[in-house]
Amino acid sequence: MALLVGGKTGVKSAGTDPLPAVAATESLALRVPPGQLDAFFPLFQRGVTVPTLVGCSLKSLLCDQFAIPADYVAGRILTIFCDSQPVDDLDRTIIRDGSKIALSAAMPGLVGASMRRGGPLAGMRRGISHGEDKGEAARESGTVLVKLFNLLLEELGPLILSRGVLLERDELGDLLRRLSSTGEAAPAGAGRVLLTVAFGE
């Protein structure tokens, strides 16, 4: 693991939209060997806070801001939850400040099949599905909580980390201890840290 950059700054988005500035947040950039990607899995399973522009559709968030190819979204991210409700229509689901997004590839069993967006069993959970959002929402800086599961941990984790995630200092400290045999501690200070990660030897 190598420490690349520290300071109070922002990072640029991997997508077409600029990453919103994170005021007065210390930043930390790491270069990590690809074999240590799994050290980040617990963070993604609990959820990581990602600075973004809100007021857009879920499809725009994934494809424009996170730069995930549309065909990957359509064919690989088969189960999506927004604020604990399964999503079928990405274009009509509006992202708001603090929205919680969970992404998964195909899940096994009857429950997995019923949660699959647009699947033949989607009607079984109509009462809990995310409804169509009405009206316009202001497009402004905010954050979303992103969770990844199963195959998407390895496939999308590096992309999200390269964009930047906000971590509490205790979360960062735990992560650095998992990555380093020397028990490296998080930077001293108060407030969250904007962490960006590049994978390579």
- Which tokens hold the place of 146? 């992103």
The rounded distance, in Å, linking the Cα atoms of 65 and 95 is 12
Please name the amino acid found at residue 148: L
Domain around 17: 2-199
pLDDT for the residue 69: 96
pTM for this model (two decimals): 0.81
pLDDT for the residue 138: 76
Q: How many domains does the chain have?
A: 1
pLDDT for the residue 44: 97
pLDDT for the residue 111: 55
The rounded distance, in Å, linking the Cα atoms of 186 and 66 is 27
Is residue 26 helix, strand or coil? strand
pLDDT for the residue 185: 64
pLDDT for the residue 130: 47
Mean pLDDT, each 10-residue run in order, the chain (201 residues):
53 48 73 94 96 94 96 92 88 92 77 58 52 66 95 96 94 89 65 92 77
Cβ count within 10 A of residue 80: 22
Q: Which long-range contacts (CB under 8 A, 24 or more apart) does 175-178 make?
A: 175/39, 175/40, 175/43, 176/1, 178/39
